[in-house]
């Protein structure tokens, strides 16, 4: 199956030659990615990758980028962090309809991972909630890639936990 996702990286100081970076990525197997270098010190790769599962597509892309840019640090795997407008676009509805769903199902609507002037959710949480309602036809590969990118981002964040904190948190939230 074909999966579309984006990997965003922070580049090391040594990796500033864009032509060289593009060449190294192509040699490492990232020729199925559109490469964006719009922000200084950052790179985004939008992959369209064939694989048996979304997880395999992501892992192979992460491996290929690591081979080409070993000092680059993953910032984010997308699609994952979304606002209501982003979800509405994925579903082909208006933001107002998405907000109406959130308000009318306040008790069961997934809690955001960040609240503020703009709330942010994991796309997978919202898609799974909508799927559970039974009234929305969701493209399964979109659900799969959203779940896989969420797992990558969560794993990346979990690596920053101190072992002592990790043990304590595990007992408190499980």
Burial (CB count <10 Å: 0-12, 13-18, 19+), residue 3: buried
Q: Which tens digits make up the pLDDT trace of 33-81?
A: 999 988 889 999 999 999 999 999 999 999 999 999 999 999 999 999 9
Helix, strand, coil in percent for the chain, rounding step 5: 50, 20, 30
Per-residue model confidence (pLDDT) at position 171:
79
Asked if residue 27 lies in contact with residue 68, where contact means CB atoms within 8 angstroms, the answer is yes
Which value, in Å, is the radius of gyration of the alpha carbons in the chain?
A: 18
At residue 63, φ and ψ (nearest 5 deg) are: -65, -45
pLDDT beyond 70 at 174: no
What ranges do the domains of the chain cover?
2-78+148-163, 81-138
Question: Which DSSP symbol is given to 112?
Answer: P
In the predicted structure, residue 160 carries a pLDDT above the cut 90: no
- pTM, to two decimals: 0.89
The string of DSSP codes covering 46-68 is: EEEEE-SSHHHHHHHHHHHHHHH
Reading the block at residue 144, the tokens are 């799969």
Question: Both tokens of residue 9?
Answer: 């990286």
Per-residue CA distances from 169 to 75, 115, 151, 164, 172 (Å) = 24, 21, 18, 9, 5
User: What is the third-level CATH fold of 2-78+148-163?
Assistant: Alpha-Beta Plaits (3.30.70)
């Amino acid at each position: 199956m074909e999966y579309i996702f984006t990997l965003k990286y922070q580049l090391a100081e040594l990796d500033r030659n864009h032509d060289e970076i593009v060449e190294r990525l192509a040699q490492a197997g990232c020729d199925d990615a559109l490469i964006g270098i719009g922000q200084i010190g950052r790179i985004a790769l939008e992959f369209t990758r064939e694989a048996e599962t979304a997880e395999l597509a992501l892992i192979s892309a992460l491996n290929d980028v690591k081979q080409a840019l070993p000092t680059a640090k993953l910032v984010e795997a997308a699609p994952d962090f979304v606002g209501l407008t982003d979800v509405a676009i994925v579903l082909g509805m208006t933001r107002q309809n998405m907000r109406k769903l959130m308000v009318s199902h306040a008790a069961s609507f997934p809690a955001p991972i960040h609240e503020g002037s703009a709330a942010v959710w994991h796309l997978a949480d919202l898609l799974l909630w909508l799927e559970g309602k039974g009234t929305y036809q969701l493209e399964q590969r979109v659900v799969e890639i959203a779940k896989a990118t969420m797992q990558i981002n969560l794993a990346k964040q979990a690596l920053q936990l101190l072992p002592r904190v990790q043990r304590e948190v595990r007992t408190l939230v499980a």
